[in-house]
Amino acid sequence: MQKKRKKVNIAVLLKRCVLCGLVLYLFGLFIAQQFDFSRLAKEEQALEAQIAEEQRVQEELLKEKEAAGTPEYVERVAREKLGYMKPDEKVFIDAKKQ
């Protein structure tokens, strides 16, 4: 009877070890997935912020495109980027900025 009992005990012990190993594997898998979810959530937030910024830039460019043909836009570009001024205009230069 002892041989039969040892075989039964070994089989039960083996089943318990396999079950414990399976539980530990699933627990480790769960923990790894939680880290992945956290990382992906941070990436999603960063991408959403980048999308919002790009949409803002796109709106500004569309507004500038709409205004591109107007005389006010041409005058603003001439003043800001090219440094032009009207002939009867007085220009004041801030000495502190230089």
Q: How many domains does the chain have?
A: 1
Angle at 50 between CA 54 and CA 37, to 5 degrees: 150
Please check whether residue 87 lies inside any domain of the structure: no
For residues 63 and 69, is the Cβ–Cβ distance under 8 A?
Answer: no
Per-residue pLDDT tens over the stretch 41-51: 999 999 999 99
Pick the closest to residue 37 from 26, 48, 45 (CA basis).
45
Per-residue pLDDT tens over the stretch 5-42: 666 788 888 999 999 999 999 999 999 999 999 999 99
Please check whether residue 49 lies inside any domain of the structure: yes
Please check whether residue 94 lies inside any domain of the structure: no
Q: What is the mean pLDDT of residues 66-76?
A: 84
